Amino acid sequence: MTAASPRAPERPAQFRYAAVFLIVLALLVFEVLSPDASWSRAVGFAFAALALSVTVATSRQREEVRRARTFAVAIAALLVIVGVATGVLSAAVTYVIGTVVLAVIPIALAGGVIRLIGQDGVTLQAVAGALAIYLLIGLLFASAISFVAAVEHGSYFKQASDVGNGVRVYYSFTVITTTGFGDYTAAHSVGHALAVLEELTGQLYLVTVIGILVGNFVGRRLTK
C-alpha cells in the first residue's frame, strides 16, 4: 500500500482590521448620504455583511472553520440583499437583521483584537479594529434611535417630525463625539437618556480603550 501524501500545511490567517475599519467607515458615509429606499437598504446591508465576512475570514480560527463561516455569512447575506432589493423583506425586517449584524461585528472584533494584542502586542491592526468598534457603536445607537422613534408617541426630534435614517446616523455621531451642533435635539426623556448614555459610552471608550491602545502603539514605535 502506498503511503498517504502529507497534508499541506494550513495557512494562518492574518488580521485585516484596517480593511474592516474602512468598510465600516464607507457604510457610515453611505448611511448618511443615501435616501430611505429598498436599494439603499440593500447596499447598506451589503456593506455590513462584507465587514462581518472580512472579520470572520481573517480570524485565527482553523482554515476550514474560517471558510465554512465565511461561506455561511456570504450565502445568508446574498439572500437578504436579494430579499431587500426585491421588496420581499420589509423595511422593519431589514432593520432588525441589519441591527443584529451590526451587533455581531464588534463582538467578533473585540475577541480578535484581544487575541491579537495577546499574541503580537498593540499593532496598527489592533488599533484599527478598536476604531471600527467605535464606529459600530455609533451605528448601533442610530439603530436604537430608530427603534425609539418608531415606538414612542410624537416626534423623536424637536426640530422635525419625520426624518430619514441618514439624519439619525448623523445625529448619533454628533452625540457620540459630543460635537452637539444643536440642529437636532431629542424631544423626550427617552431620547435624552439615550443621548447621555451614548455620550458617556463614546467618551469613556475613547479615553480608555483608544487612548491606551494608541499610547502603547506609539510607545512601541518610539522604543524600536
Q: What is the pLDDT of residue 1?
A: 46
What confidence tier does 71 reach under pLDDT thresholds 50, 70, 90? Answer: confident
Q: Does the pLDDT value for residue 84 go beyond 90?
A: no
Cell digits for 190?
427617552
Q: What is the mean pLDDT of residues 100-106?
A: 94
What confidence tier does 224 reach under pLDDT thresholds 50, 70, 90? Answer: low
| pTM (predicted TM-score) | 0.88
Q: Left (φ > 0), alpha (ψ -120 to 50) or beta: where does 36 sit? A: beta
Cell digits for 185?
435635539
Which residue, chain included where needed, has cell 455581531?
Answer: 104
Cell digits for 117?
494584542
Q: How do residues 34-49 score in pLDDT, each as one tens digit?
A: 998 888 989 999 999 9
Do 5 and 51 form a contact (C-beta atoms < 8 A)?
Answer: no
Q: Does the pLDDT value for residue 174 go beyond 90?
A: yes
What confidence tier does 8 reach under pLDDT thresholds 50, 70, 90? Answer: very low
Domain ranges of the chain: 17-223
The closest alpha carbon to 48, from 114, 112, 110, 94, belongs to 94
Q: What is the mean pLDDT of residues 153-159?
A: 87
Q: Does the pLDDT value for residue 207 go beyond 80?
A: yes
What confidence tier does 202 reach under pLDDT thresholds 50, 70, 90? Answer: very high
Fold for the domain defined by 17-223: Helix Hairpins (1.10.287)
Q: What is the pLDDT of residue 91?
A: 81
What's the mean pLDDT when you consider all of the chain? 87
What confidence tier does 201 reach under pLDDT thresholds 50, 70, 90? Answer: very high
State the DSSP string of 135-193. HHHHHHHHHHHHHHHHHSSS-SBSS-SS--HHHHHHHHHHHHTT---SSS-B-SHHHHH
